[in-house]
């Protein structure tokens, strides 16, 4: 809303990248989940109806356990080991 100056954008935010998603908990805007499968379950059955909810997820995203497993394996393909292992991009400086 601060960017667009539109009240229709109240409580909306830009969606972050999925690169390295399985390596980067916590999840959700408030960090409430540390396991990606908890995120899947939230969208499967835990959607809270609010005035700003996106119509696409309003009724949840029902996924069977097998579909959740397949989604997890797909998300792991988005892991970039070169990026993860690049010490120049690390926030933690390690003395050797």
3 state DSSP class of 79: coil
Q: How far is CA 29 from the centre of its chain?
A: 8
Q: What is the pLDDT of residue 34?
A: 96
Q: What is the pLDDT of residue 21?
A: 93
pTM over 0.95: no
- Is residue 92 over pLDDT 70? no
Return mean pLDDT, the chain. 87
The long-range contacts involving 13-19, CB below 8 angstroms and separated by at least 24 positions, are: 18/75, 18/78, 19/78, 19/79, 19/80, 19/83
pLDDT, tens digit, 9 for 90 and up, residues 26-53? 998 899 999 999 999 999 987 888 888 8
């Amino acid at each position: 809303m601060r960017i667009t100056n539109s009240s229709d954008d109240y409580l909306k935010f830009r969606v972050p990248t999925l690169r390295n998603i399985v390596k980067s908990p916590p999840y959700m805007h408030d960090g409430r989940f540390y396991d990606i499968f908890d995120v899947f379950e939230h969208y499967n059955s835990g959607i809270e109806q609010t005035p700003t909810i996106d119509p696409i997820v309003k009724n949840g995203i029902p996924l069977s356990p097998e579909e959740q497993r397949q989604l997890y394996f797909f998300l792991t393909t988005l892991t970039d080991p070169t990026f993860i292992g690049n010490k120049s991009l690390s926030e933690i400086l390690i003395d050797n």
